[in-house]
Amino acid sequence: MIKNHLINRDIAIVAYGETKIERRSGKTVFEFAADVMEQILSRCGLKPADIDGFATNVSHSESANQYATTYMCDALGLTPRFMHVSDHGGGSGLACISRGAMAIQAGMCETVLVLGADAPTTSWNGKNLGYRPEFWDPTGIQGPAGAFGLLMHRYMAQYDLKFEALGKLAVSQREGAVLNENALESLRKPITIDDYLNSRPVSSPMRLLDAVMFADGGNGVLMMSTERARALGFKKIVHPIAYSEIVNFNGHEAQPDITETGFSVVGPEVLDKAGLAARDIRMFHPYDDFLIAMMLQLEQIGFCKHGEGSDFLLGTDVTWRGSLPINTGGGQISAGQVGLASGLTNLVEAVRQIFGEAGARQVADASNALVTGIGVIPYGGTWSVSTAMVLEQGQ
């Protein structure tokens, strides 16, 4: 029996921090982390000693360091009584928040900093081992873009994929990035559907503008019990009210349908845990490594039926003004993917929107949000990790 450890709204996110996203910044992971922590401490009037819980992702830059998370505590002056590191790839951010909540509920700590920082375009030390050196690298597959090219052709064989629908999604997210001062500067220019359709093929039918670009940066949130948040006088709070994850979805199957993802499990489940239907979701902040990944999520979480993602997108305004705003800050595809800290970029945008601090791109009714994470490419498959969390404005 799977239970919802967040349903009592006893956990509160009280602050967020986010750096400008940059390419070849020349900066270290520790500098980005310091920027994020300073923003959060300044906003809350707290000091490092007030943080007694710490959760973070494995970064590309520090992944060769077996003690990266402990070193991070030392670099930031933290003395946590609870420490956690997730290697869910782009699912890490939500995984960290879910575990931070459990640690607070279990009484291990009171105040958890969930932080993501990575600088892969400055320092790359990541090395995917496992099946890859023998059964992936020698084939010349163009990394995740190749895997998603395979996925897209299979989707096209089973369903109706309209490229203008993906183009509309790209154009809508880009509009958000233009209004997002933290987005990668080179991407803060509007694009058209023709720009998308005419962009360079990478691994057919995957085009350049289907795909995310790696960059350097950091982001994070501060969590505590709702009781403590009230006692400390925080006026703006966000409750995570439901979370689900699945790892290695279909991994034991020899010939699974690769168009079916873990969101077919965690999507309906997380909505059920929150007591909501897809139509009740005010904003959707899906993990976006590739445009097709968002379309599959829309279908499998239940915003539309399987195979009807193209028509759903063509018939729905998904900008910040629309009926279902999607990744209003540009998402990763238009703001840049901050390495493996990426799982928090869209989460931080959702928190910013619920706080009413999104400026020119503020969503009118930002009272709740569905945020997701995706991580890790399995052999011959789509993605291994699917995470989903519902956020709600605290009253």
The footprint of another protein (CB under 8 A) covers 131, 133-143, 145-146, 149-154, 157, 200-206, 251-252, 254-255, 258, 379-380
Closest by CA to 205, choosing from 140, 153, 166, is 153
Q: What CA–CA distance (Å, rounded) separates 276 from 311?
A: 23
Closest by CA to 332, choosing from 175, 184, 120, is 184
Nearer to another protein by Cβ, of 116 and 149: the residue is: 149
Minimum CB–partner distance for residue 150 and another protein (Å): 5
Minimum CB–partner distance for residue 262 and another protein (Å): 17
Count Cβ atoms within 10 A of the Cβ of residue 225 and give its class: 0-12 exposed, 13-18 middle, 19 or more buried. Answer: middle
Check: CB of residue 349 under 8 Å from CB of residue 373: no
Nearer to another protein by Cβ, of 149 and 302: the residue is: 149
Cα–chain center distance at 277: 21
Nearer to another protein by Cβ, of 97 and 206: the residue is: 206
Pairing of strands 284-285, 368-375: parallel
Closest by CA to 229, choosing from 47, 10, 61, is 10
Minimum CB–partner distance for residue 290 and another protein (Å): 12
Q: What CA–CA distance (Å, rounded) separates 16 from 356?
A: 13
Strand-pairing partners, residue 56, are: 85, 115
Nearer to another protein by Cβ, of 221 and 258: the residue is: 258
Nearer to another protein by Cβ, of 17 and 262: the residue is: 262
3-state secondary structure of 338: coil
Nearer to another protein by Cβ, of 307 and 380: the residue is: 380
Angle 273-274-278 (CA atoms, 0-180°, nearest 5)? Answer: 105
Check: CB of residue 223 under 8 Å from CB of residue 14: yes
Nearer to another protein by Cβ, of 198 and 204: the residue is: 204
Minimum CB–partner distance for residue 253 and another protein (Å): 8
Minimum CB–partner distance for residue 141 and another protein (Å): 6
Minimum CB–partner distance for residue 182 and another protein (Å): 28
Check: CB of residue 353 under 8 Å from CB of residue 228: no
Minimum CB–partner distance for residue 127 and another protein (Å): 12
- Which amino acid appears at position 376 of this protein? V
Minimum CB–partner distance for residue 171 and another protein (Å): 23
Nearer to another protein by Cβ, of 77 and 130: the residue is: 130
Minimum CB–partner distance for residue 148 and another protein (Å): 9
3-state secondary structure of 84: strand
Nearer to another protein by Cβ, of 101 and 147: the residue is: 147
Q: What CA–CA distance (Å, rounded) separates 183 from 4?
A: 34
- Which amino acid appears at position 208 of this protein? L
Following CA atoms 219, 378, 154, 267 in sequence, which dihedral angle do they give, to the nearest 10 degrees? -50
